[in-house]
């Protein structure tokens, strides 16, 4: 019902035909298919061309990974894989026709491209905006049935009265690209719509599992329809799905299976700090200390990593996006020591005034560490 209401309101402005609105300029599907791009702003040219290729039956697509945790690479995806992803998301959320979507992610990456294709395949309308910190600023008066954002964007929308109200008018909000911190998750409880954290990657054609952020307890991911899950001998998540191909895909993510279709994410298997012979998973420890960081350094981003150490080989350190505050930093380390199991506690805090980010809204740890080392 909510989708139909939003679709009706949208039709008052743009008519009954589903449209793709690039930066305020509306195009019909027929116009896009024919390549009629009169009035299109140059910044949206690649997104328009991607839609045109899709509507003319393109069978394969080359997409570049984000490179937030390694070297970016090109991934080739088939039309069948993409359609499987689009349909699985639709089934999971039971989305009907005439829905109104907002695409505010980088359309050069998989998350942005999938928002375009969901609108086209779901026979809905989509407003396409360039990625900004607050993606609802230009459309605060509108109501959206389905929106995808990164955590930074959601947090920014909460900070302004108009966009805060606009969040209330989103039927389904999915959040990906990075983990949602405890402070933001607490604010999400106020929203009337559905809010889910995504799990996926370019190789799985966007998300293959979703976690309800409005539920209590740990963030538990549930597989989309037709997605099969398993773990290998090292507890790495293995995925078989129509969107990732027929073969099993072995990921670098360490998980705890809570059922045959649900899991808790622990961290990346290839991101291990060997500190004095003890193997530490920084992402798992980050989840444990996130409430402490939120309490002492509200709204500050952080991550844990290893740095060379003469005695330990590697020392676990906390990299915090904040101005140097030695007193509160020491308080945080002491609180973490009391909370964490033996050997898990960070040995030091390094303050960085401003983190570097990828275009998909993830912390770029390599560039952030490089900027800190250069200072």
Residue tagged 């073969």 (tokens)? 247
In a domain, 266, yes or no: no
| DSSP 8-state code for residue 259 | S
Query: What is each CA distance from 51 to 28, 29, 94, 184, 203, in whole angstroms?
Result: 11, 9, 24, 33, 20
- Residue 82 has what pLDDT? 94
Claim to verify: residue 178 and residue 317 sit in the same structural domain = no
- Residue 34 has what pLDDT? 96
Asked which of 39-48, 68-77, 265-274, 356-365 is least confident by mean pLDDT, the reply is 68-77
pLDDT in tens, 8-60: 444 434 445 689 999 999 999 999 999 999 999 999 999 999 999 999 999 99
Claim to verify: residue 204 and residue 287 sit in the same structural domain = no
Q: Specify whether the CB–CB gap between 44 and 24 falls below 8 A.
A: no
Half-sphere exposure of 208 (CA within 13 A, CB side): 27
Q: Specify whether the CB–CB gap between 316 and 346 falls below 8 A.
A: yes
- Per-residue confidence band for 6, with pLDDT thresholds at 50, 70 and 90: very low
Tokens of residue 132, six digits: 């900004």
Claim to verify: residue 155 and residue 41 sit in the same structural domain = yes
- Residue 372 has what pLDDT? 65
- Per-residue confidence band for 267, with pLDDT thresholds at 50, 70 and 90: confident
In a domain, 246, yes or no: no
364-374 b/e with 16+ CB inside 10 Å = b? bbeebbeeeee
Total of domains in the chain: 2
Tokens of residue 300, six digits: 């500050």
In a domain, 257, yes or no: no
Domain extent at residue 306: 273-374
Alpha helices in 189-341 (DSSP H): 282-296, 326-339
Tokens of residue 243, six digits: 């969107």
In a domain, 256, yes or no: no
Residues 6+ apart with CB under 8 A from 347: 309, 312, 315, 316, 317
In a domain, 243, yes or no: no
Claim to verify: residue 155 and residue 302 sit in the same structural domain = no
Interatomic CA distance for residues 185 and 272, integer angstroms: 26
**Residue 371, pLDDT above cutoff 90:** no
**Residue 81, pLDDT above cutoff 90:** yes
267-276 b/e with 16+ CB inside 10 Å = b? bbbebebebe
In a domain, 56, yes or no: yes
In a domain, 262, yes or no: no
The SS3 of residue 232 is coil
User: What CATH number did the domain enclosing 91 receive?
Assistant: 3.40.50.12780
pLDDT in tens, 88-137: 999 999 998 889 999 999 998 899 999 999 999 999 999 999 999 999 99
102 burial (CB, 10 Å; 0-12 / 13-18 / 19+) is buried
Residues 6+ apart with CB under 8 A from 217: none
Claim to verify: residue 163 and residue 90 sit in the same structural domain = yes
- Residue 71 has what pLDDT? 58
């Amino acid at each position: 019902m909510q989708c139909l209401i939003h679709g009706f309101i949208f039709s008052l402005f743009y008519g009954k035909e589903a449209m793709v609105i690039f930066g305020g300029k509306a195009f019909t599907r027929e116009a896009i298919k024919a390549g009629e791009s009169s009035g299109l702003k140059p910044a949206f040219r690649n997104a328009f061309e991607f839609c045109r290729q899709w509507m003319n039956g393109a069978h394969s697509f080359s997409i570049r990974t984000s490179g937030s945790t390694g070297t970016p690479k090109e991934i080739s995806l088939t039309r069948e894989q993409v359609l499987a992803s689009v349909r699985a998301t639709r089934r999971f959320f039971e989305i009907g026709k005439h829905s109104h979507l907002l695409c505010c992610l980088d359309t050069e990456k998989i998350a942005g491209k999938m928002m375009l294709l969901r609108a086209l395949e779901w026979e809905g309308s989509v407003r396409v905006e360039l990625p900004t910190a607050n993606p609802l600023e230009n459309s605060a008066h509108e109501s959206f049935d389905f929106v995808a954002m990164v955590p930074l964007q959601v947090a920014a929308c909460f900070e302004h009265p108009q966009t805060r109200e606009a969040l209330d008018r989103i039927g389904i909000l999915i959040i990906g690209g990075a983990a949602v911190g405890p402070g933001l998750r607490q604010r999400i409880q106020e929203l009337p719509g559905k809010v889910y954290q995504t799990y996926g990657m370019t190789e799985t054609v966007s998300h293959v599992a979703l976690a309800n952020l409005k539920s209590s307890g740990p963030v538990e991911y549930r597989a989309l329809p037709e997605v099969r899950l398993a773990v290998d001998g090292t507890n790495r998540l293995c995925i078989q799905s129509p969107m990732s191909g027929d073969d099993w895909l072995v990921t670098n993510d360490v998980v705890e299976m809570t059922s045959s279709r649900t899991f808790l994410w622990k961290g990346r298997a290839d991101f291990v700090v060997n500190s004095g012979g003890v193997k530490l998973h920084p992402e798992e420890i980050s989840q444990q200390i996130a409430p402490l960081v939120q309490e002492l350094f509200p709204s500050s981003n952080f991550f844990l990593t290893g740095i060379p150490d003469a005695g330990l080989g590697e020392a676990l350190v906390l990299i915090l996006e904040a101005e140097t505050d030695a007193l509160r930093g020491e308080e945080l380390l002491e609180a973490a020591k009391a909370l964490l199991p033996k050997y898990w506690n960070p040995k030091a805090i390094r303050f960085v005034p401003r983190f570097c980010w990828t275009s998909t809204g993830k912390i770029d740890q390599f560039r952030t560490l490089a900027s800190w080392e250069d200072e």
